[in-house]
Chain A
């Protein structure tokens, strides 16, 4: 029985050792700890230096879209034209398992292409298709194909008119449009007649087209590439022992999908450029103060950038610029640290000071003192917008600045 009693006493003492914990409201300063959390806000005006801009990371033919625009402006017209090429089947086509026949020509063809980005404010959107030389390639410039674009278009399509048709189908022209509300894109299926879809067997059957866009306002759209790129279905006539027979070969994808534009991108100057085609990036090197890095906790960091000129680009094509940091500072070839990014939307035409929250990166620099203290500015979707912005560099009066809010070390242990 004595053991039982002692066990009970032990249980009592064990229960007594348990502690519950919640909180109580403080009434300062009388009933608060003497130490307080101290927040300091500082503007670093000279900590960003040795900045530089580089261009050429993503060029037009590497872009996942083909940009089309026609935007007259007081300073010039932004004119972007997709160009693409399909290789053909050559001069002959199989007509049976053992025989081939001479391709006599094409009855017609059906071109399918996706509009993957558009401005909902655009009205009366028209597409004009031009036949281009099949010699176009990734180095083709706007001027190089200017002449073919002066010819009469092989097809003209009014997308708004087509959308207004029942079911999006024009029974007269054979065109149709399907609205993909989920992916926010339009699939255009256009019928090219014999004249528009001329099959030249002696030229291997290759065909190239270019597109110009027009609208009442804001003519700026993007066509898809790759899996959502243009495809061509030929309807051919093939000679079979002196008799022409119809053949429908397989669908062809593009062997080149690119876009050309004017005015050409201006060469880099002393400003910090971000965006454009080919895409430009800028590096900003930060002298991160040791007193912040070593003995404080950063709760907010904001990078201030003053545009040197209004952001260029199609008015509707606001683009996202992101600030990142790099794993190593190798100048233009600095590998990007993919862990953190802080984005901000750039609106063409705006001259407002850009404020980017870079708290996460500053905290990373404070935690890892071996990490390069470099900001890299780049467009989130490189070469997918004409938009480009230029900021004042560190040698200018309106240089980039960094505002940091941090908390000092709490005075633990001080009564």
Chain B
């Protein structure tokens, strides 16, 4: 079997194979809150812990790296997560397959590159069942609730970047937040005298944000990056009624790239997000990452770790997460097509909940 075909078959197998009892669900830390924030990273960046995201033109975290794109480039990513959610002694296996990233970028002038695309801003897919009882008409009535949400808030980005000099590139972008979730709430009583309840609603979301970034070549092989972003608020509407207006965070981050040789690259980054704007139960978060990439552009090896906090969770402390990842890539057709593969092991902790996640990632980049 040719290596390319083998990689594709393995990737497809990893994405589609799953135990029967798994289910689609994002982090349970996002159920009581706005959702689970998406990761604005390409498969290449995420395979190295996200450390290379500030320097990766195909990651929608920053705009400035777009300045180095020379030809029209399109990218997309997909990932399957196998999640063990442990609540006390109960472990539930969950599964989610997502298509969280798509973008296209191209040079429109000698010093100007523009890009458009979407990524996941907040994932809001979950399905919760609850067994409980209540006193009705003087009797204890047992029931089973099932509340589901299926959908997400997407971040549609229009960005532009320019390399002002050999050492300096800048970029800016506007972000239109849009999406919807189909929500259901059902209750079934054990006593069939009480009829089952089923309510359904389509919740639409919208918001707006702006971002800016800068990339500075400090010295040969050493680059630093900085970025900032501000989103206004997330409006939730059911029908014609606005049911919620939630302030969104401001955020900023920085990164460092060290390339001692063309075959060895190291990077690190950190970011801060003011999620506590979103209201009670939300926390400001810090996140960090460090990673390395070894080898040529033909088939590099990527490694990385990341850690930080989650914006929504119970109690007075933000849940934490830590992940280690690895990956590789393969170029085809004289470098016009790239497949990136990655795998990530993630652990999240908060209150009595611990999530352990395996995620398999596949990215495709095309330069026609």
Contact = CB atoms under 8 A, between A and B. Distances in A.
Interface of A: 2, 4-6, 8-9, 11-13, 15-35, 37, 39, 41, 297-300, 357, 359, 363, 403, 405, 407, 409-415
Contacts of A415: 33-34, 236, 244, 246, 278-279
B195 interface: yes
Interface residues of B, number: 84
Contacts of B279: 415
A300 B196 CA distance: 10
B197 A12 contact: no
B236 A414 contact: yes
Nearest to A298: B195
Contacts of B278: 415
A41 B315 CA distance: 33
Contacts of B203: 412-413
A19 B97 contact: yes
Contact of A410 (B95, B201, B332): B201
Given A8-B4, A26-B130, 13 more contacts: A8-B12, A9-B339, A16-B15, A16-B97, A16-B98, A22-B24, A23-B148, A25-B130, A30-B315, A32-B147, A41-B137, A359-B193, A413-B183
B134 interface: yes
Nearest to B353: A31
6 contacts: A16-B97, A20-B22, A20-B24, A24-B127, A26-B147, A35-B185
Given A25-B92, A37-B185, A12 B12 contact: yes
Contacts of A30: 32, 313-315, 351-353
Contacts, number: 202
Given A6-B337, A27-B353, A34 B92 contact: no
Interface in B84-103: 85, 87-88, 90, 92, 94-99
A297 B130 CA distance: 20
A209 B81 CA distance: 86
Contacts of A410: 147, 183, 185, 199, 201
Contacts of A20: 18, 22-24, 95, 97
B12 A11 contact: yes
Contact of A412 (B146, B201, B313): B201
B23 A23 contact: yes
Given A16-B79, A26-B129, A413 B32 contact: no
Contact of B9 (A6, A8, A18): A8
Nearest to A406: B197
A5 B8 contact: yes
A411 B244 CA distance: 10
Given A19-B96, A300-B195, A34 B78 contact: no
B80 A16 contact: yes
B183 A412 contact: yes
Given A23-B129, A37-B197, A409-B199, A18 B97 contact: yes
A16 B22 contact: no
A288 to B, nearest CB: 17
Nearest to B33: A415
B240 interface: no
Contact of B99 (A17, A25, A403): A17
A13 B197 contact: no
Contacts of A299: 187, 189, 194-197
Interface in B140-189: 145-150, 183, 185, 187, 189
Contacts of A39: 134, 136, 187
Contact of A23 (B31, B128, B196, B314): B128
A185 B238 CA distance: 61
B199 A16 contact: no
Contacts of B286: none
Nearest to B333: A2
Nearest 3 interchain pairs by C-beta: A22-B23, A16-B78, A30-B314
A75 B27 CA distance: 74
B211 interface: no
Contacts of B76: 13
B31 A33 contact: yes
A363 B195 contact: yes
Contacts of B22: 20, 22
Contact of A37 (B78, B131, B187, B339): B187
B264 interface: no
B362 A12 contact: yes
B25 interface: yes
B99 A33 contact: no
Given A37-B145, A300-B195, A415-B33, A24 B187 contact: no
Contact of A31 (B21, B244, B314): B314
A31 B195 contact: no
Contacts of A11: 8, 12
A33 B32 contact: yes
Contacts of A41: 136-137
Given A8-B9, A413-B183, A415-B244, A24 B25 contact: yes
A27 B350 CA distance: 13
B28 A31 contact: yes
A33 B124 CA distance: 11
A260 B352 CA distance: 78
Given A23-B128, A415-B278, A403 B137 contact: yes
A31 B353 CA distance: 9
Contacts of A407: 187, 197, 199
A297 B197 contact: yes
Contacts of A357: 193
Contacts of B194: 299-300, 405
A254 to B, nearest CB: 45
Contact of A24 (B11, B98, B129): B129
Interface in B312-365: 313-315, 332-333, 337, 339, 351-353, 362, 364
